[in-house]
Structure 1
Amino acid sequence: MLITLTTAISISQTQNVQAAANDNSLAAIKKKGTIVMGTSPDYPPYEFLVNNKPVGMDIAIGKQIAKDLGVKLVVKQMDFDALLVGLETHKIDMVLSAMSPTPERKQSVDFSEPYYFSGQSIIINKADKEIYKNYKSFYNKKVGAQTGSLQYDLVKKQIKGAKLTGLTKVTDLIIALKTHKIDGLVAESAVATAYVKNNPDLVVINGGFDLTDTGDGTAIAFAKNSTSLVTAVNKTITKIKQQKLTTKYLADAGKSLKVNVADTSMWSYRSYFIKGIGYTLLISLVGVVLGVLLGTLLALCRLGSIAPLKWLATGYVEFIRGTPLMIQVMFLYFGLNIPALTAGMVGVAMNSGAYVAEYIRGGIDSVAKGQTEAARSLGLSSKDTLRYVIMPQALKIIWPSLGNEFISLIKESSIVSVIGVTDIIYQLRLVQAATYKGIAPYAVAMVIYFVLVFGLTRLLNFAERKMQHA
């Protein structure tokens, strides 16, 4: 037993020494001249957006780190629960997003020294302030927390019988709280205070949680075995603490928050939605064009006589139709290391192509066999028969189904927001975080989608009428 334990320790130490010897994390950052910071900008005062630009204490710390390393800071916006995946797949170099260095997280990533210490609070409706005093008041109650966060784990472990609601965005949890779908929302004290200041119907109470085994403060996450980079960043953190810069950063964040809430009308945030419309239309257009081309090719392969191509096309269609679009997009982005916008467009096109293939195959099968026989009897080749006789008739048959696919594509493209593509859904969440309004941005997004879909529907109906009279 002792010999086995000694051997295991020796192997572990050897592996750690080898990892340290092979560590070039700092050198790699300096060589490329940039350090990519991943963050979820819906968490004021740590990180949020003003005029579509990320600001807050974590952004300021990121800039100081980049300055001290002599490189340029690049901020990549992602959902909070995708940040560690982005780190492990080297999409980002560090996570600065109010993350706590919990023991579970330390198993997969490295952490810097803590740069800020904040307690854990609970946000409640002001009308309930006499009911709830601390976390024990929420036994068997409905409690919300951000998915993948320390607060989520605190609710699970310390609030007995809690009916936990986990969402990726704090803004959505605030809406859930104000509409009484949850009784309380657990958040870091600084964040809770920021939200309550801009929501007069809410108040914050001290959570009173036991934080002994939850990680010490807030720290920066790095890929495993990034010792040299962590050491360099710790020097910056030491300087920040000595000069008490976090106080300045929080004060600056407070000023930025006032800018956001000075005018919270949706019209003043129209640039956010316009940007989202542009990306949504781009992704939908590329998805339609590539989807039709891919779908046509797959349909012809399935109807052809070349067995390997037929099997390959059938397997592709069945696999794509049997897996969620969200998983496909995330696999392209994280698994194959494709840029976010490209991954979104390719994912949507690949998914659409599988469905379009079935529409086209069904349309071709619906054309009477006599049409093919008549064309061949007139001397047309198989290729010309398909091109000039079968496909035009099939197109008329499948046009309504294709139209529905095009309409669905506009709405389903919202999936790309999970990997940080700034489509309409992503932009509405940014507006929610900036204005502290929950319902109004949803209403605007609904109107935008309706206008886009209604316009496309009229265009498709016009094209259908033209084809019927052709």
Structure 2
Amino acid sequence: MRKALIALVMLVAGATLVLAATATGARTAQTAGTAIPGCAKASLDLVSAGTLTVGADNPAYPPWFGFTEKPTKPWKVSDPYNGKGYESAVAYAVARQLGFLKKQVKWTVVPFNNSYRPGKKPFDFYITQVSYLPERAQAVDFSNAYYFVNQSVVGRSGTSIAKVKTIAGLKRYRLGAQLGTTSYKYIVDYIKPSSKPLVYDTNDAAIQALKNGQIDGIVVDLPTAFYVIAVQLDDGTIVGKLPTRGTKERFGMVFEKGNPLKKCVNKALNNLWRNGTIKRLQRLYLARAGAPDLK
């Protein structure tokens, strides 16, 4: 019953959000804002002149990208071209700030772990929940924050981990996370479980391991956790939200090292924070239900 209610609430909320996003998209899809001073399209260092090429992982999941029944090839699950989902909407909002029409934005598939490796990039910027880390910033550049992150633990209802109230209580459990993520780093640096955490190439693989009983819990960012328990795990539950440790974690767009486009994107993001667009999109796509705090 709880699962059905969650799914129903998400479906109703999702329908409302889609209507709102569609109405907004109808007003802005074919119009572009005035380019930021000093950031005219002709002066930008782009992969393809006149086109803003944006990289994303595939599949790209809600709530970061909008679910699509028949996404444009090669996209799976979500289609970033629809402008729905938080990261897709932010990318298009930045593009509009820089003077690009929606049709002048091109999306390209880049695996998450490849996004912050050194070397030439097939994108102008990349947006798929990449957290800023000093070691990553040695190989690529990051924009200012477009989202501040809390990690969380997802388990299965009815298991002992679901009753845990503290970080210390997690230590005896086997945990897992996606390879190369700050979720895995949080496990190693702050939870420090008694058994070595397991790593997976994708969140899907980690979730399958949880279903199979190979691990007791997975660590993911909080908005992803709500999607996991509502859609991907029939008996999923959020054990709790993890407190911030060290510097506040933030998602930033990723750029090839030294690309001056970063300065223009930062100006665009500053405008979007200042005019309330970022907060509006967070309310639209990342509205949070309650989650207990792990102390």
Q: CA deviation at 1:145?
A: 0.8
Larger strand share, 1 or 2: 2
1:365-422 CA deviation, whole Å, 9 max, x = no partner? xxxxxxxxxxxxxxxxxxxxxxxxxxxxxxxxxxxxxxxxxxxxxxxxxxxxxxxxxx
Whether 2:236 is the aligned partner of 1:202: answer yes
Aligned residues of 1:111 and 1:219 also touching (Cα < 8 A): yes
Aligned residues of 1:101 and 1:219 also touching (Cα < 8 A): yes
Aligned residues of 2:162 and 2:237 also touching (Cα < 8 A): no
2:114 & 2:272 partners in 1: Cα distance? 28
1:134 & 1:170 partners in 2: Cα distance? 24
Corresponding residue to 1:111 among 142, 145, 148: 142
**Which residue number in structure 1 is paired with residue 46 of structure 2?**
29
Decide whether aligned partners of structure 1 residues 31 and 251 sit closer, same or farther in structure 2, where only a CA change above 3 A counts: same
1:31 & 1:81 partners in 2: Cα distance? 23
Identity of aligned residues (%): 24
Decide whether aligned partners of structure 1 residues 60 and 202 sit closer, same or farther in structure 2, where only a CA change above 3 A counts: same
Aligned residues of 1:155 and 1:162 also touching (Cα < 8 A): no
Whether 2:99 is the aligned partner of 1:65: answer no
AA at the equivalent of 2:235: D
Whether 2:64 is the aligned partner of 1:46: answer yes
**Which residue number in structure 2 is paired with residue 74 of structure 1?**
106
Aligned residues of 1:99 and 1:220 also touching (Cα < 8 A): yes
1:139 & 1:169 partners in 2: Cα distance? 23
Aligned residues of 1:47 and 1:97 also touching (Cα < 8 A): no
AA at the equivalent of 1:220: M
AA at the equivalent of 2:137: K
Decide whether aligned partners of structure 1 residues 197 and 243 sit closer, same or farther in structure 2, where only a CA change above 3 A counts: farther
Q: CA deviation at 1:250?
A: 4.3
Q: CA deviation at 1:100?
A: 1.0
Corresponding residue to 1:174 among 207, 213, 237: 207
Q: CA deviation at 1:143?
A: 0.9
Aligned residues of 1:122 and 1:187 also touching (Cα < 8 A): yes
Whether 2:174 is the aligned partner of 1:142: answer yes
Whether 2:247 is the aligned partner of 1:218: answer no
Aligned residues of 1:84 and 1:95 also touching (Cα < 8 A): no
Aligned residues of 1:135 and 1:207 also touching (Cα < 8 A): no
After TM superposition, list the pairs within 5 Å mapping 1:30-429 onto structure 2.
32-40=49-57, 41-47=59-65, 49-50=67-68, 51-52=70-71, 53-54=79-80, 55-71=84-100, 72-85=104-117, 88-128=119-159, 130-160=162-192, 161-198=194-231, 199-213=233-247, 216-226=249-259, 228-250=260-282, 252-253=284-285
> SS at the partner of 2:152?
strand
Q: CA deviation at 1:48?
A: 5.3
1:26 & 1:206 partners in 2: Cα distance? 47
2:162 & 2:116 partners in 1: Cα distance? 39
Decide whether aligned partners of structure 1 residues 121 and 115 sit closer, same or farther in structure 2, where only a CA change above 3 A counts: same
AA at the equivalent of 1:27: L
**Which residue number in structure 2 is paired with residue 376 of structure 1?**
none
What RMSD in Å do the two structures reach over aligned CA positions? Answer: 2.7
Q: CA deviation at 1:210?
A: 4.6
1:69-113 CA deviation, whole Å, 9 max, x = no partner? 23422111232112223x732212211111111111111111111
Decide whether aligned partners of structure 1 residues 168 and 47 sit closer, same or farther in structure 2, where only a CA change above 3 A counts: farther
After the TM superposition, list the runs of 4 or more consecutive aligned residues in structure 1 that deviate by more than 4 angstroms. 250-255
Larger helix share, 1 or 2: 1
Q: Which runs of 5+ in 1 are unaligned?
A: 1-24, 256-470
Decide whether aligned partners of structure 1 residues 130 and 66 sit closer, same or farther in structure 2, where only a CA change above 3 A counts: closer
Decide whether aligned partners of structure 1 residues 81 and 114 sit closer, same or farther in structure 2, where only a CA change above 3 A counts: same
Decide whether aligned partners of structure 1 residues 176 and 111 sit closer, same or farther in structure 2, where only a CA change above 3 A counts: same
* TM-score of the superposed pair, with normalisation by structure 1: 0.45
Q: CA deviation at 1:140?
A: 4.1
Decide whether aligned partners of structure 1 residues 190 and 254 sit closer, same or farther in structure 2, where only a CA change above 3 A counts: closer
Q: Which runs of 5+ in 2 are unaligned?
A: 1-41, 72-78, 288-295
Aligned residues of 1:145 and 1:185 also touching (Cα < 8 A): yes
Q: CA deviation at 1:245?
A: 2.4
> SS at the partner of 1:121?
strand
Deviates more, 1:25-34 or 1:181-190: 25-34
1:175 & 1:250 partners in 2: Cα distance? 29
AA at the equivalent of 2:154: I
After TM superposition, list the pairs within 5 Å mapping 1:6-17 onto structure 2.
none
- Structure (1 or 2) with the larger CA radius of gyration: 1
2:55 & 2:164 partners in 1: Cα distance? 35
Aligned residues of 2:63 and 2:286 also touching (Cα < 8 A): yes
Decide whether aligned partners of structure 1 residues 233 and 68 sit closer, same or farther in structure 2, where only a CA change above 3 A counts: same
Q: CA deviation at 1:186?
A: 0.5
Decide whether aligned partners of structure 1 residues 162 and 74 sit closer, same or farther in structure 2, where only a CA change above 3 A counts: farther
Q: CA deviation at 1:248?
A: 3.7
AA at the equivalent of 1:151: S
AA at the equivalent of 1:204: I
* TM-score of the superposed pair, with normalisation by structure 2: 0.69
